[in-house]
Amino acid sequence: MPLSEQEQRLLDEMERSLYNNDSDFVATVGTRRGRPNYTLIVLGVLGALVGIAVIVAGVIFRQPLIGVAGFVLMLAGALFAIAPPQRRGSTHIPAAPSPRSSTSRPTGVGKAHGGGLMDRLNERWDRRQDGDGRH
């Protein structure tokens, strides 16, 4: 069932508020991970293969320490290959622009200090209950 126009506006407003108030959270949870670095993936896979070879050598020579070192090398190579690429520069995601002009902003108690999403939703609810008619 598609969203009504009012529900879509409310959802857009909540998304803008999330970007404005919690941009660090959005940056850490966002789906954009960047392009994979194939050089790091190849090096990690090669490291894991060398680790497996060292494990086999430890078994052949009956040396548990060599086997443990091979396991550590294999694990490090695998983690290196699957680790997400590090972002360089700022991790701040710019806020989505608000389509409302500054003159159409509702005034209220919470607006003096910026107000949060719940303050704006409560204010809109109160306006609807009073029969103001503005959305």
When computed from its CA atoms, the radius of gyration of the chain, rounded to whole angstroms, is 27
The number of distinct structural domains making up the chain is 1
Q: Does residue 79 lie in a domain region?
A: yes
Q: Does residue 1 lie in a domain region?
A: no
Q: Does residue 48 lie in a domain region?
A: yes
In the predicted model, what is the mean pLDDT of residues 16-42?
73
Boundaries of domain holding 45: 37-84
pLDDT in tens, 70-117: 999 999 999 989 987 765 554 444 444 444 444 444 444 444 455 678
| Tokens (6 digits) for 21 | 């108030």
Q: What is the mean pLDDT of the chain?
A: 76
Is the alpha carbon torsion for 33, 37, 38, 43 positive or negative? Answer: negative
- Dist. CA 118–CA 22, nearest whole Å: 14
Q: Does residue 49 lie in a domain region?
A: yes
Biggest alpha carbon–alpha carbon distance for the chain: 85
110 neighbors 7 (Cβ within 8 angstroms):
no
Q: Does residue 65 lie in a domain region?
A: yes
**pTM of the model as a whole:** 0.43
Angle between helices 38-60 and 64-82 (to 10 degrees): 170
CA-wise closest residue to 104 among 127, 70, 74, 77 = 127
81 neighbors 87 (Cβ within 8 angstroms):
no
Q: Does residue 43 lie in a domain region?
A: yes
- What local confidence, expressed as pLDDT, does residue 76 receive? 95
Q: Does residue 133 lie in a domain region?
A: no
Q: Does residue 14 lie in a domain region?
A: no
- Dist. CA 17–CA 10, nearest whole Å: 10
